Structure 1
């Protein structure tokens, strides 16, 4: 009974509660055995005992007949019910009472690199027409194919209609059976034949059935005009399609980033790290890595800056941002005094709301065009105290890279404090070590057998006798003179100075 009524201040993590036998009803017994105040709720998730204050009425003393195992099982069931209630308090409820998950932070850049920004209320749309080539290249494939087909079809129809109009105005359609009549274009007897002649002229096919004659100067001018405009349309549209097909955006699909970023120690310094790799055998020439911190802030003047961009150094000063991306690399950002994560600890990281955008730029070796791959990491995607698993092994004659472990991480011992606190602790240790070593050296220096005998200061009688016996100056070990010049000489000679004032006396 004394064991049952005792208070348990803590519970070890390895404590396992016995399961009640069949036929028993621990939940009903818990209702009967509810203590008045200070109920101990044992939580499996927290690993310790949580005390809650309740206002249940006192129960009769017959509950003391329950065994200790039954009481612990009842308290465990009550703790589970209390935990479920706490989980449901902070969640929103839907239409039918289902709990809604917490809304995730809106990404500025998606994981696939697409920027989640849409431009609206733009009144200067004419600027798109001034750069029509880039506008056509930026269109999606459906619109690009539509523009490509319509560009040729409209020009063919336009010049076909003009050829038909010329034949109609000259009367060529009225003299189709007259062999003595010389038409502008042979074998043009309607709009369809004029349209086919327009196609042959613009595409330079030249079947030879429909031919322009020398009796139509207007047709000759129109033929030159259509040939020139047709070449321009052909060059423009084929160029747009070629650039769109060979865009380096598709090359960025084979540049992959790790699913999570990690924070752990490297050379006794906290570092933010993520992994990047290239799936193709053709390399990215001149690969360069950049990183940005996207976070809203408020200035000292009260100005609110949404989605403020702060640069995160990944080795710009040392040249580590220039990559030789042959195998997957781990990009590291050292959290120092210039880093935006200088004051961020593990607990603060769980409360922060930010986004890290990483950008990899380089030149495609096959085409010579510059490509850019992007990704981002939210605050909940940054794992504190983790490290990336190794994925490279030495095979027979080559290095084998296992991309199955590209996103794998494992936990390592990492302090949960911020980089500032870690640096201060290291500085204190170094200062304590420095002063302890210097103090020991001073003790050994001044407590030596020879120096202790010499450092004994003579009495007044001894100094007077020495003055009488010797004519030279008196040497005093460790003495301090009054003038500044004598103190400097004493420091240079190992704190052994000459008392000139007594010698002159």
Structure 2
């Protein structure tokens, strides 16, 4: 995980309320992934007990969600078409087909019509077994579409912090010294207010001959703002009381520390508080750089133009 480091400033304020364990030998990798999810793999429990399928379907990327819906739709109809074909397409009134492929195709599209309850009427079941299968499929189709509709609505209505963080944190000039800086911005037409952020750095240190996880608060120049409409650059002044005081470029390159960022903001569209998390490994900290401005006034000087594509833009400077 993190390399041992003994250069921590004694004036730095330790944070004991992070929720992460102190036993360094039990941890592997980073604490929080770049996406904000905990870097945890659970074992000792069955797959179906360890996964909330509802939460999974709400949180997976949009393209994966659509692929799963489409695959489920065609798979179910393929299974029922196989059942109809196994019973015999002669029990489906209106089927006019000679080849095996045509017969299966007719059974498949009859399954689609039954599953979606469209029922064009061109093909109808004949006999108890075929009619019973069609009835079961119609019920299964109603339940499936009800679940899919609920998932669509859940994904659409779920409160979410539409905020992006810069890919890198920077060690940049700040007043008469330096500061740790990272940037965030909202990227949708949401109204965000009462934004509050906390930043913590985690490293492994040696205490009484043992390696332990230690976390230190990173005091911010501004930890709360009334409205988050443009970009917000978080600044941790690296003063004598900072746990990063005395760190040089080589330290960030050789020590595998991690900077944890926790954001809470009120979204008046959802009328609730939403949260966002991310982290920066020391390898993602650029020493001697500053962010390039990402918003400017419009040409007619009537609006402010926020360039989302400039969120990660920075230039190198000499410290």
Where 2:124 maps in the other structure, the secondary structure is coil
Deviation at 1:296, TM superposition (A): 1.2
Match of 1:122 in 2: 43
1:106-161 Cα offsets, whole Å, 9 max, x none, are 87667xx3469866683424246752233445556776555433422332233334
Distance 1:391 1:137, change over 3 A: closer
Aligned: 1:294 with 2:202:
yes
Counterpart-to-counterpart distance in 2, 1:401 and 1:139 = 31
Q: Distance in 1 between matches of 2:284 and 2:114?
A: 64
Out of 407, 410, 420, the residue aligned to residue 314 of structure 2 is 407
- Of 120, 125, 138, the residue aligned with 1:207 is 120
What pairs up with 1:85-124 in 2 under 5 angstroms?
A: 113-114=34-35, 122-124=43-45
Task: Tell whether the 8 Å contact from 1:200 to 1:207 is kept in structure 2 after alignment.
Answer: yes
Question: What's the TM-score, normalizing by structure 2?
Answer: 0.60
* Structure with bigger RCO (C-alpha 8 Å, 6+ apart): 2
Partner of 1:357: 260
Identify unmatched segments of 5+ residues in structure 2: 1-28, 97-102
Mapping of 1:6-405 within 5 angstroms?
A: 113-114=34-35, 122-127=43-48, 131-136=52-57, 144=65, 147-164=68-85, 173=90, 186-187=93-94, 192-212=105-125, 221-237=132-148, 240=151, 251-253=162-164, 255-256=165-166, 259-262=169-172, 264-265=174-175, 272-278=180-186, 282-300=190-208, 302-306=209-213, 308-314=214-220, 320-322=223-225, 324-333=227-236, 339-341=242-244, 344-345=245-246, 350-351=250-251, 353=255, 354-362=257-265, 370=274, 372=276, 374-376=278-280, 378=282, 381=285, 383=287, 398=302, 400=304
Contact 1:389 1:410 in 2 (8 A): no
Task: Kindly tell me the number of residue pairs found equivalent between the two proteins.
Answer: 277
CA distance in 2, matches of 1:392, 1:147: 39
SS at match of 2:314: coil
Larger Rg: 1
Quick check: 2:167–2:284 contact (8 Å CA) kept in 1?
A: no
Deviation at 1:223, TM superposition (A): 3.8
Local SS of the residue matching 1:159:
helix
Write the distance in 2 (CA, Å) between the matches of 1:137 and 1:391: 32
What's the CA shift string for 1:176-231, capped at 9, x where partnerless? xxxxxxxx753357655443322211112221222347xx5665554443222112
Q: Give the TM-score normalised by structure 1.
A: 0.41
Q: Secondary structure at the match of 1:151?
A: helix
Which digits, 9 at most, give the CA deviation of each residue in 1:275-332, with x for residues without a partner?
A: 43345554445533231202112333x33235x44343437xxx84345222233323
Q: C-alpha distance in 2, partners of 1:294/1:235?
A: 45
Give the alignment's Cα RMSD to 1 decimal.
4.9
Residue 392 of structure 1 contacts residue 401 of structure 1 at CA under 8 Å; is this kept in 2? yes
Structure with greater proportional strand content: 2
| CA contact 1:290–1:360 (8 Å) conserved in 2 | yes
C-alpha separation in 2, matches of 1:409 and 1:399: 30
Match in the other structure for 2:24:
none
Q: Is the 8 A contact 1:161 1:191 kept in 2?
A: yes
Distance 1:202 1:138, change over 3 A: same
Question: Kindly tell me: are residues 150 and 129 of structure 1, through their superposed partners in 2, closer, same or farther at Cα, counting changes over 3 Å?
Answer: farther
Unaligned runs of 5+ in 1: 1-105, 174-183, 413-505
Q: Is the 1:256–1:278 contact (alpha carbons within 8 Å) kept by the matching residues of 2?
A: no
* 2:170–2:180 CA contact under 8 A, matched in 1: no
